[in-house]
A = this chain, B = another copy of it.
C-alpha cells in the first residue's frame, strides 16, 4: 500500500494505541498517547504525529521509555512541585504536570510545576490548549538532552537543541491564543527536507562548520549548525531565548540543561500557570485579550488574499477541516505504522484492517 489515505481520527487512535499496548504500554497510557499523537496530525504537525509510534516502540524496547510509571513528587509546596518522570511517556507526564500547575494556580494565582526525565512530550500547543481549557494563562519550556544542533551566538559548534517555548491564554468568547515555537530559525526537519530534495535553504537558516553563512542544506550535516531565531542579523536574541528555555526546563526541573555528557534522548518540561480570575474581576483579562486580538486582526493584510491571524488559528483551522474531511495520512506514515506493529509484535492484520477501512485520498 503506497498511497495517501484519509483516515478517521478515532480509527487511527485505536490503531496507534493497540501498537503501543503490544509494545508494553497499559491501555490507559496507550490511549492517551495515541490521542495526542493523532491530535498533532490533525492540526497539521505530522512530525509530532503517529509517525512517532515506531520511535516510541523502539524506545520502549531500549528502555528509553518506561511504561506504566507515574511522575513522582520530589518537592512540593502550595504554589510549586518538582516531579521525577522516570522516563515515562512524555504526553502522560506533560498532561499531569499541566493539570497540576493549573490546579495550584486556582488558589495561588501563579504556580510552577517542573517535570524531569520524561520521554518526548509531543506538541507543546496541546499543553497550552489544556491549560486554557482550565482557564489558565500558561508558559511551557522544554529541553531535549541529545543532539545539540544550534550554535551559541558567536560560536560555530552546536551547543543547544531547538529548545521550544510555548505560551497561551484563554480569550473571552473565542478560541485561546496558542504560541508554540522553537527558538531556532527553523526546526532541523525543514533543513533535512531541503537536503533530501536537493534544494538550497534560505540565507540565515544555517552556518557551515567554519561558522560561515551558507545556503547548502548538506552543510548542516557536515559539522554545521542551525542559527538561533533572528538568524544572521538578530540571532543573539534567539540564542538568549534558547538558553532561557534550556535553563527553565533543565535547571529548574533538576533534569539538567544541555551539555556534552547528556546522551539520553529525554525531555525536561516546566509549566508556569496563571489563573487570571484571581488577578482581576469580571473576566477583565480574557476580555482584554479578545479586544486586543481584534485590534491585531484589524491591520490591513500585506497580501490581499490573506488575513492577519492569531497564533493557533492555522492549527485550529487545519484540525476542523481534517475532522470534517478525514485526516491526510501519507504513505510514508502508514509504512512506519506497519513497521511499528511488526516491531511491537502486534498482529499485522491490525494495520491491514485499518487500511482497508480507510478511503484513499
* Residues of chain A at the chain B interface (Cβ within 8 Å): 75, 77-80, 82, 108-112, 114, 137, 151-157, 159-160, 167, 169, 177, 179, 181, 185-186, 202, 204-205, 207, 210-212, 229-231, 233-234, 236-241, 243-244, 246-248, 250-252, 254, 256-260, 272, 274, 276, 278-280, 284-285, 288-289, 291-292, 295-303, 306-311
Contacts and interface: CB of A to CB of B under 8 A. Distances in A.
22 contacts: A77-B108, A151-B302, A153-B309, A154-B309, A156-B299, A156-B302, A169-B247, A181-B240, A185-B234, A202-B233, A205-B233, A211-B301, A240-B311, A241-B241, A243-B310, A247-B288, A250-B288, A251-B276, A251-B288, A251-B292, A252-B279, A257-B291
A252 B285 contact: yes
Given A77-B108, A202-B233, A251-B289, 11 more contacts: A78-B108, A137-B247, A137-B252, A154-B302, A154-B307, A159-B295, A159-B296, A167-B244, A229-B237, A251-B276, A259-B295
B207 A302 contact: yes
Contacts of A244: 167, 179
B243 A311 contact: yes
Contacts of A159: 295-296, 298-299
Contact of A152 (B234, B246, B285, B299): B299
A110 B79 contact: yes
Contacts of A210: 302
Secondary structure of the A contact surface, majority rule: mixed
Contacts of A272: 110, 272
A111 B112 CA distance: 9
Given A75-B280, A259-B292, A156 B300 contact: yes
A137 B114 CA distance: 14
Nearest to A260: B295
Give the top 6 A-B pairs by smallest Cβ distance, nearest first: A211-B302, A155-B299, A80-B109, A257-B292, A179-B240, A155-B308
Nearest to A279: B82
A246 B288 CA distance: 11
Contacts of A79: 78-79, 108-111
